[in-house]
Amino acid sequence: MNNSLRKLAVLGIAPAVMFSAMSLTAVATAGDKKAEMTGKELAFDRKKGNCLACHQIAGGDMAGNIAPELVAMSARFPDKAKLRAQIWDAQVANPDTLMPPFGKHKILSDKEIDKVVEFISSL
């Protein structure tokens, strides 16, 4: 047992409790990192935006081809509010779309959607 663990044992704090607390801290830190992801990271993340599953985006690997390539987005969506609405729930504009409603189904938070909108509009 190292000195730190001995000191904890003397104080009556079990080493297992300390390791549990350390593990929870690591999980919280990982969660904080996800909250701090950039719009590009969110768009490319397979568990979050996952835009590359359907769209080709410059700099993305293994892009899909079932949806339009995301280029000239500021010309296609000069009003960022319309782009945000599209990402929030594309079914409003097109009931037959395959695009998931990222906001309506809480796939992305409002803050995450705002970051993705900023990234996508920069393409």
Q: What is the pLDDT of residue 18?
A: 46
Q: Where are the beta strands (DSSP E) in the chain?
A: none
115 and 62 both lie in a single domain: yes
29 and 42 both lie in a single domain: no
68 and 115 both lie in a single domain: yes
- Of 72, 70, 30, 28, the closest CA to residue 49 belongs to 70
State the total domains in the chain: 2
57 and 81 both lie in a single domain: yes
31 and 86 both lie in a single domain: no
62 and 95 both lie in a single domain: yes
Q: What is the pLDDT of residue 36?
A: 86
68 and 20 both lie in a single domain: no
Average pLDDT over residues 25-35: 52
Q: What is the pLDDT of residue 64?
A: 87
10 pLDDT above the threshold of 90? no
Average pLDDT over residues 83-94: 96
44 and 82 both lie in a single domain: yes
Q: How far apart are CA 14 and CA 113, in angstroms?
A: 43
Tell me the two tokens of residue 105: 């189904």
**Do the Cβ atoms of 56 and 64 come closer than 8 Å?**
yes
74 and 64 both lie in a single domain: yes
Is pTM, for the whole model, over 0.75? no
3-state secondary structure of 48: coil
Q: What is the pLDDT of residue 19?
A: 47
Q: What is the pLDDT of residue 62?
A: 87
Average pLDDT over residues 65-85: 94
Q: How far apart are CA 119 and CA 37, in angstroms?
A: 12
Range(s) of the domain holding residue 116 = 38-121
Give the C-alpha distances (Å, rounded to integers) separating 114 from 21, 42, 50, 102, 123: 33, 11, 15, 12, 15
Question: 52: domain CATH number?
Answer: 1.10.760.10
**Do the Cβ atoms of 58 and 69 come closer than 8 Å?**
no
